[in-house]
Chain A
Amino acid sequence: MTAATVLDVGSPSSTRRRSFWRYWRGNLKGSEFAWALAFSVPYIAVFVAFVAYPVFYGLWMGSDPALYSDVFSDVIYQDTVVNTLVFVALGVNLKLFLALLLSGVFMRPGWWTKVMLMLFVLPWAVPQLPAFISLHWMLNGEWGLLNNALWILGGIEGPSWLNERWTALGAAIASHIWKWTPFWTVILLAGRMSIPQDIYDAAKVDGATGLNRFLFVTFPLLANLYLVLTLLATIFLLGDFNTVFFVTGGGPNNETHLLATLGIRNAFDLARPDLGVAVVMTALPVLIPLVIILMRKLRTAEVQL
């Protein structure tokens, strides 16, 4: 490279080429620059082959406008949009609000609380598949543990939860909250622990205790974290496949699908991959702004550190 540039100094293209390389090289010396390139090639290759290519392939597959009239006229799709909205509104907010409150409970001193925390994180530590299969069977109207317990302990005949749209969707949301609340609780607990004790001491002198302490000290300090978590949880939930796939299976009559499960169903059960991609693509108008806001938030957080 250097030899080549020395040989044809003067020709405009080589000057441009040289400045191009100098620009990319920055303050790295020749061999160091080669090392830097070699070290970053594996990830760049992974990104191009397995992210960029599928993304553009997906965009190309879903680029036919005729697909979308098929998608929007599909009754199952219309139900799915409603389900997704309900799922996001209830799932994200209940989960995070519970996590916010419980993280405060876990700040209490004592070994008893530590034991509780260890048990409480179990749903998160267990792989998704066994957990959701268990919930699916537990909610079975005839033989499931929930209805058996209701009958034996309370004499109540429980409904068959998974055979009716709204109870099935409720079951899926509850399962999602069961599985993921511990994860967000642990994050918010760490957030609370990073608040310096001095602030609380000062607030105590000023008379802030109990609810006031939470409203005027803890929450303002956690607000930004809480917002980032809400965005992240919304994006994660939009992509959630396992909860609905295993707890309700999209049933009854395909009435409890989310966008992710409907996409897979269209692509593989109906053998219409383009229709599956189109379903997923309809989330982009919501997803892209969320991603942009979130990336900005995460990046500024990174700079501040």
Chain B
Amino acid sequence: MSMRIAVSEPVAVGPRSGSAGRRGRVARRWRYANSAGIAVLYAVMLVWTLTPLYNIVMIALEHEGDVYGNNILPVQPSLDSFWVVFTQGYWYLEHFWHQFGNTVFIAGMVTFLVLLIASMTSFTVGRMRLRNGWLITNAALLTYVIPASFLAIPFYLIMNRYGLANNPWSVIAALVTFATPYAIFIFQEYGRSIPIELDESARIDGASPLHIYLRIYLPLMAPALVAVGTYALLLAWNEYLYQFLLLSDKRNMTVPVALAQFLNSDQAPWNYMMATAIIYALPPLATYYAFRHRMSSGLTMGGVKG
């Protein structure tokens, strides 16, 4: 394509300068049409992608009365709603920072436990070659493909039976359960790139499996640990259903559960709700963009290799 243009461009002088000139003009016109098409496509994609997000920001900047209006730009934009959320100045928001802390605690715990459990499991299956380790891999794969929402009802009843209802640890258990399989999958894929001879020579030197795990396996797995850690953190931060079912007390709730509660009130204060939503969405957004490249390499590595 580009080669043809380069060859024919100098020849394109007049309408009758032969087939080379015509070809050059056609190529150039095609190129213009092509880039104009791409520009239109990008514009459509931008409108499609950004409108719902613009809606959040617009409403967060409005006053409560203006939300119920027919404007498409914020009337009298102000940051008041954010201030109300920060100071917990509305009765739905009276435990906001406590709930934010709960979200941080649950996400942190889930990330730590997923990294610990999945790295230990993939170490035994992939590096120590535990016989019948494929049983564990298959169990993990099976968990990965069962929709989490289908298990929610029995899970809820069992948590009640374990006495863990309305306890953050029940949510942590659920999220660890559903995040670990993917983590095991990624660790096993990544572990293949680390030569097994390293482990074997350490073994001959008398290193115990624990030493090999701590001193050789974990340091070499660092990129995969970062990718999976990001994945687990985002999963735990963004999850809603299990948190909604398992946490009902205002002090135990996480931000998404509290946010969804707003919807139940008759005249929902949409501006406070959207301000809360923005504050809740910023940490995962920052995490996502910071670790984007490692995440997507992880996705292709394990999730779906064709």
Q: Is A236 an interface residue (CB 8 A)?
A: yes
Q: How far is the CB of B283 from chain A (nearest CB, A)?
A: 9
Contact with A along B168-187 (1 / 0, CB 8 A): 00000110110010001000
Instruction: Please determine whether B147 and A236 come into contact, CB atoms closer than 8 angstroms.
Output: yes
A268 within 8 A of B: yes
- A89, CB-defined interface residue at 8 Å: no
Residue among B1, B56, B123, B259 with the highest chain A CB neighbour number at 10 A: B56
Contacts of B81 in A (CB 8 A): none
Interface segment out of the listed B18-26, B220-228, B269-277: B269-277
The reply on B27 being an interface residue by CB < 8 A is no
- List 15 additional A-B contacts (Cβ < 8 Å) besides A23-B131, A264-B245: A28-B128, A43-B136, A43-B180, A116-B46, A126-B284, A127-B284, A130-B281, A134-B53, A134-B277, A143-B67, A143-B70, A148-B71, A225-B306, A280-B153, A295-B138
Interface of B is mostly: helix
B273 to chain A, nearest CB (A): 7
Partner of B176, one of A46, A187, A225: A46
Interface residues of A in 221-278 (CB under 8 A from B): 222, 224-225, 228-229, 232, 235-236, 238-242, 246, 260, 263-264, 267-268, 273, 276-277
10 tightest Cβ-Cβ pairs between the two chains A and B: A239-B147, A225-B306, A26-B131, A130-B277, A35-B209, A190-B300, A58-B154, A54-B154, A50-B177, A125-B288
Given contacts A43-B180, A130-B259, A178-B52, contact A190 B153 (CB under 8 A): no
How many angstroms between the C-alpha atoms of A80 and B8 in the bound complex?
A: 60
Chain A residues, Cβ within 8 Å of B273: 133
B153 and A276 within 8 A (CB) = yes
CA distance A232 to B256 in the complex (A): 26
Given the contacts A43-B117, A236-B147, A125 and B49 also touching, CB distance less than 8 Å: no
Instruction: Please tell me if the beta carbons of A239 and B150 are within 8 angstroms of each other in the complex.
Output: yes
With A24-B131, A54-B154 known as contacts, the answer to whether A35 contacts B45 (CB < 8 A) is: no
Of A120, A134, A294, most B-chain CB atoms within 10 Å = A134
Whether the pair A283, B189 counts as a contact (CB closer than 8 A) is no
Give the contacts of A112-130 with B (CB-CB under 8 A): 112, 116, 118-123, 125-130
Contact A43-B140, Cβ < 8 Å, known A122-B53, A123-B49, A143-B68:
yes
Residue of A nearest to B39 (CB): A112
- Among A126, A190, A263, A294, point to the contact of B53 (Cβ < 8 A): A126
- Which among A2-10, A69-77, A162-170, A297-305 touches the partner chain? A297-305
Contact B145 A295 (CB under 8 A): yes
Contacts of A235 in B (CB 8 A): 145, 147
Asked if B6 lies at the interface with its beta carbon under 8 angstroms from chain A, I say no
B260 CB, nearest partner CB in chain A, Å: 7
Q: Does A151 contact B (CB under 8 A)?
A: yes
Give the distance to chain B from A195, nearest Cβ to Cβ, in Å: 10
Provide the residues of chain B in CB contact with A294, threshold 8 Å: 145
Known: A46-B180, A276-B153, A295-B142. A39 touches B263 (CB 8 A): no
Closest residue of B by beta carbon distance from A275 = B153
Q: Mark A33-44, 1 if CB is under 8 A from B, else 0.
A: 001100110111
Q: State whether B120 touches A120 (Cβ < 8 A).
A: no
Judge if B116 is at the interface, Cβ distance under 8 Å.
yes
Chain A 130-157 interface mask (CB, 8 Å, partner B; 1/0): 1101110110000101101101110000
Give Cα distance in the complex from A143 to B66, angstroms.
Answer: 10
Complex interface: chain B residues within 8 A of A35 (CB):
124, 128, 208-210
Chain A residues contacting B300 (CB-CB under 8 Å) are 187, 190-191, 194
B306 touches A191 (CB 8 A): yes
Which one of A50, A186, A235, A287 has the highest number of Cβ atoms from chain B below 10 Å of its Cβ? A50
Are the C-beta atoms of A264 and B149 separated by less than 8 Å? yes
Can you list 8 pairs linking A and B with CB atoms under 8 Å apart?
A42-B120, A134-B59, A134-B277, A149-B72, A186-B299, A228-B304, A229-B304, A294-B145
The winner among B129, B145, B278, B306 for most chain A CB atoms within 10 A is B306
